[in-house]
Amino acid sequence: AVQLEQEQQGRVVMRERYLRSLSAMAGHPVRFTMYEKVNVTALFEASDIDILNFHVSELQTPLGVQRDALLRCSDIISYTFEL
């Protein structure tokens, strides 16, 4: 029971830090590295709680700028931004 409690406490701290990193990213340009060597840049707007999709705006694509888009997290390898 002590082990379980420790584990839950650890989850809470790590989850809160992750959610804070997402809030800090909102409105900033983010560079996404996707599978098949695709790189795109967009402004981050929001995520769902399961971290399955990212809502972005101003998505830069070879065909022009998409005002709003949904990126599936399963298509993304990494993302990066600066503060």
Partner 1 sequence: MTEWQRKTPLEWQKYVTKEVNVTAAEKHDYKGWVLTVDPVSANIVLVTFLEDGKVSVLVVLGHAVQEVGIVKEADDEMREKLALLFMPGES
Q: Which residue has the tokens 């990193």?
A: 21
Q: Which is nearer to partner 1, 8 or 67 (CB)?
A: 8
Strand partners, 65: 60
Cβ–Cβ under 8 Å, residues 57 and 43: yes
Shortest distance in whole angstroms from residue 9 CB to partner 1: 9
3-state secondary structure of 25: helix
Q: Which is nearer to partner 1, 52 or 65 (CB)?
A: 52
Write out the residues near partner 1 by the rule CB under 8 A: 6-8, 10-11, 13-15, 17-18, 20-21, 23-25, 33, 35, 37, 49-51, 73-74, 76-83
Q: Which residue has the tokens 């983010």?
A: 30
